[in-house]
Amino acid sequence: MRRWKYLVAFLLLIPGIVSTLRAETSASLSKTPPNFKVAFIGDQGLGENAEAVLKLVRSEGAQAVLHQGDFDYENNPDAWNAQINEILGEDFPYFASVGNHDVEKWNGKDGYQQYLKNRLNRLGVEWDGDYGVKSSLQYKGIFIIQVSPGDLGSFHADYLREQLAKNRSIWRICCWHKNMRLMQVSKKTDDTGWDVYEEARKGGAIIATAHDHSYGRTHLMDSFEYQTVASQSNTLVITEGRTFAFFSGLGGKSIYGQELSGTWWAKIYTKTQDAHYGALFGVFNVGGVPNAATFYFKNIKGEVVDRFDVISRVHTGSAVEQHRSSR
């Protein structure tokens, strides 16, 4: 009788063991390739300027795009998708979260979301949740969470906290469209609440936004709500509790002038600084160092207007130690 009890107990443990093994296998198969380049854009539009930014993405050799909302401004998902396909191709990894100008045509069989889902399905990329509204996915070892505070849905901060707590990736990026007033430098208002910024910070995630049609990047922050700077170094060391945020909204629609400033900004690039359209590029696993990345903002004139390095200290143990021991 006792032997049967042990057998039953063991059988009950099997699903958990299999789940753990599957998770470890999945993690091992999704490590970030060396020098993996991602372009960050937002506020795009249709036509010459938007096309120039997409051509820049292509010429820089980016291997994925993260688009933080506001697509074509014409409620024309088909034209927007065609513009991407014409320059980057139908199977280019293009991830996007909903912006305020995308809400009307977001849902439905011919909506923006469906075009994005179709692209992910062609790529074989799976996601959790309501894609682009409150969703997460793993791509090339990078954990991407896309939410839409101030645009669609609710409880976005709760979702960020839950997703970050159960993920073990070195690189995690939290993406949404809108901002808090002090997390942009033009005319935008308090649209998201501080909780999404703070949950991303606590989870050691890079914060990618847009909405302000310009570019700005914070220093490494201890608090976004109180604008507390942890370091002004141009090498930003991310931990669970310290990270940086940026808005990259020079995707092609228009360019705003600067109205605000603050000591927490490492870089501001607006019409006031004679800005041109462009994109922020992040190169992950740079030089084959798993927890190292380098970022630069480049405009369509070929000028690099911001450059900085990032080191992740989030869940780095085994991957980094293995790299060091092999050198």
Reference 201, options 233, 160, 235; nearest CA is 160
Domain spans of the chain, in order of start:
33-325
Q: What is the rounded distance in angstroms from the CA atom of residue 201 to the CA atom of residue 101?
A: 27
Residue count of the chain, please give it.
327
Name the stretches of the chain with pLDDT < 70. 1-30, 317-327
Per-residue model confidence (pLDDT) at position 95: 99
Per-residue model confidence (pLDDT) at position 316: 86
CA atoms within 13 A on the CB side of 32: 31
The model's pTM? 0.89
DSSP per-residue string spanning 150-203? TTS-S-HHHHHHHHHHT---SEEEEE-S---GGGSSSS----S-HHHHHHHHHT
Q: What is the rounded distance in angstroms from the CA atom of residue 29 to the CA atom of residue 52?
A: 35
What Cα–Cα distance (Å) separates residue 145 from each residue in 7, 57, 198, 262, 298?
41, 22, 14, 27, 24
CATH number attached to the domain at 33-325: 3.60.21.10
Per-residue model confidence (pLDDT) at position 321: 38
H runs (alpha helix) in the chain:
2-29, 48-59, 77-87, 112-123, 156-165, 194-202, 317-325
CA atoms within 13 A on the CB side of 115: 23
Per-residue model confidence (pLDDT) at position 320: 52
Q: What is the rounded distance in angstroms from the CA atom of residue 324 to the CA atom of residue 327?
A: 5
